[in-house]
Structure 1
Amino acid sequence: MSETKTKPTGADVSAFLDTVEHPTRRADGHALRTLFERVSSEPACLWGPSIVGFGSRHYRYESGREGDTPRIAFSPRKASLVFYLHHYDGYDADLATLGKHKPGKGCLYIGKLADVDQARLETMVRKAWEASA
């Protein structure tokens, strides 16, 4: 079985966010860090080279593969902001009122924070945090 590459690195999260080229995505990354820290009461931690995670949880698949992953996370990628949020009851209903986004398999893509309802996003992050405990 291969080893997972997404692990806490101990790298400086602020320094990583400061390297994001796109100025709006860089500012959004810092704003998201503040939001996620407020919701989780956990410090930001860089997982792998580009995922800003909060808290951790252990998983184990029926196949026997297991590992650790952040409870909630985001990544300011080149094309969009990517959110890694545990799905919860009502997730799809919340997505319907979020604003401009693209759902992905296991993640959520948003171009910029200004495209979505900030209060709805915070609610979704909070619900995902609670559901991932």
Structure 2
Amino acid sequence: MSMFSRLAEQKIEEAIRNGELDDLPLAGKKLSIDDLSHIPEDMRMSYHIMKNAGYVPEEVTLRKECVQLHDLLSAARNDGEHEEIRRKLSEKQLRLQMLLEQRGLSGSSVFTQYETKVRERLTPDE
């Protein structure tokens, strides 16, 4: 533990002993903590900032749309509807692939690890 960490711990323990932390607004309540364990460590801060700003990267939106179209595809009632959904799904998948290549993410080992986790979360079990 670094000297700074030890000093911080001492100050926190001192504040607890003096009762300075007893009247905090969320005292005794569970904190809402985002689980970012599925995101590579070097991308977590960027992800957190974008999330707080309400920004969703286009590739995430495209993946979500692909999952929705995949679900619709399995629920299609006739051949015409099936073909229309298949066409839309192909367009979204192509746009996603082009976007990933354009951003240099298709060959990135970090993105590959991240992509697998996203795919696991968005793709329904079959």
- The TM-score, its normalising length taken from structure 1, stands at 0.21
Which is strand-richer, 1 or 2?
1
* Greater length-normalized contact order (CA 8 Å, ≥ 6 residues apart): 2
Which is helix-richer, 1 or 2?
2
- The TM-score, its normalising length taken from structure 2, stands at 0.22
